[in-house]
């Protein structure tokens, strides 16, 4: 029952997680480090992102959510985990094989809380791992956590991850198709307007003014092809 409740809580908070939308912190897959664009970051944003990219389940006290903290702009995972241990009270959780799978983050000097926020969205985590946006350690930790679920929950989660990846791919495909169609329409319009440039400059200017907002590259295409 505890596993089921944890899984349901995961799903309930998935819409509010900031991890995959963060503009303040990024994970450099090649350099294997965390990079901050600013010197300070909200705890919720930081911990959600760490949960996404480390493979660890992160739970933290609600009182920390809107607190802002200063960190070095570049950190390895071990440096970041050490920073967390020095800044907060951190409780480590292991599986039966004594492998670290989760962290509980509490205010310094506090070691229990009546309620905790789950920072991770397992669907986003699964997507990140499949799309090679994390490292092998994070993937291994994620798989270790999945094994804590019963088979039915594991299967359901894997299906949700696959559906999410497919849905995102379709969205990107449709966006690419729209951009291509727009570029084709711009080319057709540029070809029509090219002759007007010399034969009817006034009409050309009006048409350019009308279409410039929708086709920002229209004039450039006319001039480039004109030459």
Looking at the fold, whether 30 and 125 belong to one and the same domain comes out as yes
CA angle centred on 89, ends 84 and 93, rounded to 5°: 85
Mean pLDDT of the 143-161 span: 86
Domain annotation covers residue 105: yes
Q: What is the pLDDT of residues 59-103, one digit of tens each?
A: 999 999 899 999 999 999 899 999 999 999 999 888 888 888 889
Domain boundary among 149, 165, 191: 149
pLDDT at position 30, please? 83
Domain annotation covers residue 108: yes
Looking at the fold, whether 50 and 10 belong to one and the same domain comes out as yes
Domain annotation covers residue 58: yes
Q: What is the pLDDT of residues 116-142, one digit of tens each?
A: 988 888 888 888 888 887 778 888 888
Residue range of the domain that includes 205: 173-226
134 vs 12, residue with greater confidence: 134
Is 13's pLDDT higher than 70? Answer: no
pLDDT at position 121, please? 83
Q: What is the pLDDT of residues 165-177, one digit of tens each?
A: 899 889 999 999 9
Mean pLDDT of the 105-112 span: 89
pLDDT at position 139, please? 87
């Amino acid at each position: 029952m505890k596993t089921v409740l944890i899984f349901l809580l995961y799903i309930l908070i998935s819409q509010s997680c900031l991890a995959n939308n963060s503009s303040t912190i990024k994970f450099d897959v090649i350099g294997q480090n965390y990079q901050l664009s600013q010197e300070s970051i909200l705890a919720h944003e930081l911990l959600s992102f760490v949960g996404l990219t480390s493979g660890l389940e992160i739970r933290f006290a609600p009182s920390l959510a809107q607190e802002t903290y200063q960190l070095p702009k570049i950190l390895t995972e071990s440096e970041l985990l050490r920073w967390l241990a020095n800044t907060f009270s951190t409780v480590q959780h292991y599986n039966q094989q004594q492998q670290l799978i989760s962290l509980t983050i509490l205010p310094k000097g506090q070691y229990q809380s009546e309620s905790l926020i789950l920072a991770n969205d397992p669907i986003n985590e699964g997507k990140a791992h499949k799309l090679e946006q994390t490292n092998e350690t994070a993937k291994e930790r994620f798989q270790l956590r999945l094994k804590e679920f019963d088979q039915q929950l594991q299967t359901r989660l894997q299906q949700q991850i696959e559906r999410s990846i497919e849905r995102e791919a379709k969205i990107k495909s449709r966006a690419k198709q729209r951009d291509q169609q727009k570029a084709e329409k711009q080319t057709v319009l540029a070809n029509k307007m090219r002759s007007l440039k010399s034969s009817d400059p006034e009409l050309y200017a009006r048409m350019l003014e009308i279409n410039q907002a929708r086709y920002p590259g229209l004039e450039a295409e006319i001039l480039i092809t004109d030459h």
